[in-house]
Amino acid sequence: MRRTGLCLAGITVLVSCSDPTTEAPRDAGPDALFDGAMDAPTDSGTVSPEDSGPSECPVGAAFAQGSAEGAADPTMVPAGMGAGGAVRAGRLTAAALPVDRTGLNTWQAGDYVLANSRVALLIEAARPTSGYNPWGGTPVGVASVRDGRLVDAGDFGELIIGLGRFTMQAESVTVMSDGRDGTPAVVRAIGPLRAIPFLDEFGRAIAPADYGDIRVAMDYELRADSDVAEVYVTFDVPRLGTTVVRTVLNGFFQANRMGRFVPNAGFMEGTGAMSATSLVGWVDDRATSWAWMLPAARGTITPIISVSGFDMFTAPAITFPPCSQTRVHFGRIALGGPGLDGLQRAIAADARVALRAITGTVTDASGAPAAGARVHATSMDGARYLDRVSADAMGRFELRVPAGPVRLQGWRSGSAPTAAVPVAEGASTASLAFPADGSIAVEATEAGSAQALPVRVQVIPEGATAPSLPASHGESVPSYGRLHVAFPIDGRVTLPAPPGRYRVVVSHGPFYDLSDTLVTVTAGMSTRVPVTLRRVVETPGVLCGDFHVHTTRSPDSDDDARLKLSSGAADDLSVMARSDHEWVGDFQPLIEEMGLQRRMRGVGSIELTTFTYGHFGVFPLTADTSRINNGNFTWTGRLPSAVFADVRARPERPTLVINHPRGSRSQAYFDAAGYNPADGTANPAMWDEGFTAVEFFNDSSFEENPMQVRDWFSFLARGRRVFAVGSSDSHHLNSSPVGFPRTCMFLGTSDPMAATPQAIGTAVGTGRSTIAGGIFLDVRALPATGTSGAVGPGQEIMGVGSEGRLEITARAPTWVRADRLQVFVDGTALPTIALDDAARDPSDPVVRYRGTVRVPVAASGSWVVVAAHGRELEPVFPRRTAFAVSNPIFLRR
């Protein structure tokens, strides 16, 4: 199983608790007492033993509140720095909100903004909020300010700060200072600390310290002359004893939407190699970027865990004196853009570090501008990564670096990088040029109609390695040694390539033939690759779908939704469910926007993602934008049966699929519920018998899942009609293709526009489907005589006698290597059928087997499942193994 689903169980590593520690009471100063010497990561909210009962502290002063509205038109900020500049805080109208270019942001009219003439920080009102931290009053967006408007909004995720597993639940958000009097603008959120629901479910056992008696005032402050917003938190601690907090939460759901950057180290895939750092930055190359920093007096943040798009850091411990209101300079948010260079400038200006400008041009070998090429700056030895910037339409760039000589290098996808160009300390210009390239121009059409065909185009170097840069530069390259993997939905694409020989593979999914061509690329020349592909596996009345597809709406996926749809169309998927974690979404609007509705349809869906007992696909669903996360399901503190009842009560009458049933307990329902296939027992409190569909094949084949197959057959053996689903669970298209495997449904139509979401959900839930991973199986149970009344997967046939007949056809394109067929009767395999030359239809090499197999039928009835096995699906789907498996057919004498 190649599953990469969201899993935060690893957080347990960071919150094992120390023994209670008691310190003598001391007077509270203006700031908290910080313990810079970190013990092993612990979460110890500690009080003296005699203070374990109700607090006897005097009632502290209530936190002051400000204006509910603040400045009118808070984005209309006069330009200039210092005395000539200004800053504002106020509430945003719908017209003042920035453009949401990704469709992922969650700001709303009525939220607040801190803005000067350059940058802005958006802050949620005291409202229920979408995402993983539901409490409101926290940052919700970053943007630049231009001509009184919020522009270039970054692809902001979530910032979660607090103590242990607790964050603030905002009861009020107000403007303490709107900035019109020349003072910093301040927005304040007030509320008690509450356990974050998604962490509390399992975190309570491992981070037992309870901070629910503490109230906080969280102040966000921005000055006119600074692009760094300060975050101050005042803690009202009504405890007689001293409290030491060692797990100071600094958490981010951000890394798959904005690149993770650390000074000198550069861009990092995770935090495993990261040591304590002064800041962690999040880079949006197209828009405003941001960084989280601690004040210098507080030291550094230490990475604890980086998993599934969630990065957690801890800061030096905080000590709260007894009965205190203690103000903590909790953190700082630097804002700048576009990209890393703009962010670096903001950080340097804040630190009063002078940067020097280097300007120049990037060109191709002919001297033409290399528009959009990236220019990277490192130290001369390459050990320290400094900056990157994108060239404009004329190939011009400007970046700023610290004092000292540096080295610049240009990069664009598919080309060899430019030579590294040294820039001396006193120099301020540089010119970079790419080596001479050629190109490969693919144009794909469908045989018969000559219409443009969406295709997967893979360019594979022959006898050479695809160019790349060090990981610190943050330039993604295709997996499996490819130079390019592209998904042109109109069948046309021109891809740059250094001179040399290449294998160009053009495909349209597992039911079409393949174009596999060797070409030679010459500098300055374009090599044409015209392709005509033919459908060779016909599936009338069938639509194939993938019901487990993630996009950047899931914090553990870095794939844009349009890219996912392009890949699905290129690989001939007819149905796609947008199954993002804890968010109801539907691909259909984008399918129509992209003009793909004649080829595919979307199904509204969610991956219901608990952190204690598994993940579950739910479809079809209709997104309700008036509800949190478009109408997700509440699972915290509830047993599966109650949650599943909520699913079944939805008016859409959705199908519930048990996703990846085996694995870690937090992700895998069968393990969490203790299901034992040997006797069919499970923990009664956790077990619900109502499901009928299980994703037994998650980005993997029949033979790669012996435990899941055993589970499946155990249900069937006990009379439970449980059906298989095959899905990709694709989080990262670079390594996990959409549509492997796919669930092919018998719907009576091959037209995606004619299939309703309800019919699709019903077909999956009742087993009217077969799973295809490069091979397609057509299996029918025949009546005792003749063929009229034959039935297929998910159906039952009566009156077959003691021996039934199965009509089986296995088909696959000639590029797919299929070699074995198995028939299982009541879980027992009949003799294996070799899919060799003798089994093929001599008149049609796509037909690997066509025949009738006789099967015994028990007196009480039997069930049959058919599986086909093959070899790796290179070159189309590397490291995936060809297979197919039917859903059961039920036979009665």
Burial class (CB in 10 A: 0-12, 13-18, 19+), 318: buried
In one-letter notation, the amino acid at residue 110 is G
Q: What is the pLDDT of residue 50?
A: 35
Q: What is the pLDDT of residue 43?
A: 52
**Can you give the three-state secondary structure of 217-248, one letter per residue?**
EEEEEECCCCCEEEEEEEEEECCCCCEEECCE
CB proximity list for 684: less than 8 A, separation 6 or greater = none
* CA proximity to 813, closest of 536, 541, 582: 536
Domain 774-893 fold is: Immunoglobulin-like (2.60.40)
**Domains 360-433 and 536-766 are alike in CATH topology:** no
Contact status, residue 610 vs residue 634, Cβ threshold 8 Å: no
Tens digits of residue pLDDT in 354-368: 999 999 999 999 999
| Per-domain residue ranges of the chain | 82-348, 360-433, 438-533, 536-766, 774-893
Mean pLDDT of 137-142: 98
DSSP 78-96: ---SGGG--EEEEEPPGGG
Domain 536-766 in CATH 3.20.20: yes
Tens digits of residue pLDDT in 28-79: 333 343 333 333 334 555 544 333 444 589 887 899 999 999 999 999 998 7
Mean pLDDT of 722-726: 99
Class at the top of the CATH hierarchy for domain 438-533? mainly beta
The DSSP bridge pattern shows strands 500-507 and 112-116 to be unpaired
* CA proximity to 656, closest of 717, 596, 577: 577
Contact status, residue 525 vs residue 532, Cβ threshold 8 Å: no
| Entry pTM | 0.93
Contact status, residue 740 vs residue 877, Cβ threshold 8 Å: yes
Residue with more model confidence, 199 or 681: 681
Peptide bond into 208 cis (omega under 30): no
How far apart CA 330 and CA 342 sit, in angstroms, is: 24
Tokens of 339: 């990209």
Over the chain, what is the mean pLDDT?
92
Q: What is the pLDDT of residue 270?
A: 80
Per-residue confidence band for 2, with pLDDT thresholds at 50, 70 and 90: very low
Q: What is the pLDDT of residue 415?
A: 96
Ramachandran angles phi, psi of 592, nearest 5°: -70, -40
DSSP 828-851: EEPPPEE-STTTSBTTBTTEEEEE
Q: What is the pLDDT of residue 26?
A: 27
Ramachandran angles phi, psi of 532, nearest 5°: -125, 120
Domain 82-348 in CATH 2.70.98: yes
Contact status, residue 548 vs residue 607, Cβ threshold 8 Å: yes
Tens digits of residue pLDDT in 291-342: 999 999 999 999 988 887 889 999 999 999 999 999 999 999 999 999 999 9
Burial class (CB in 10 A: 0-12, 13-18, 19+), 893: middle
Tens digits of residue pLDDT in 234-282: 999 999 999 999 999 999 999 999 999 999 999 998 887 788 999 999 9
Q: What is the pLDDT of residue 208?
A: 85
The enclosing H or E element of 51 equals none
- For 100, half-sphere exposure in the C-beta direction (CA atoms, 13 angstrom radius) is 14
Q: What is the pLDDT of residue 274?
A: 85
* CA proximity to 467, closest of 485, 487, 482, 486: 482
Architecture of domain 360-433: Sandwich (2.60)
Query: Rg of the chain over CA atoms, in angstroms?
Result: 30
Cα–chain center distance at 281:
19
Residue linked to tokens 């033939």 = 513
Tokens of 12: 């347990």
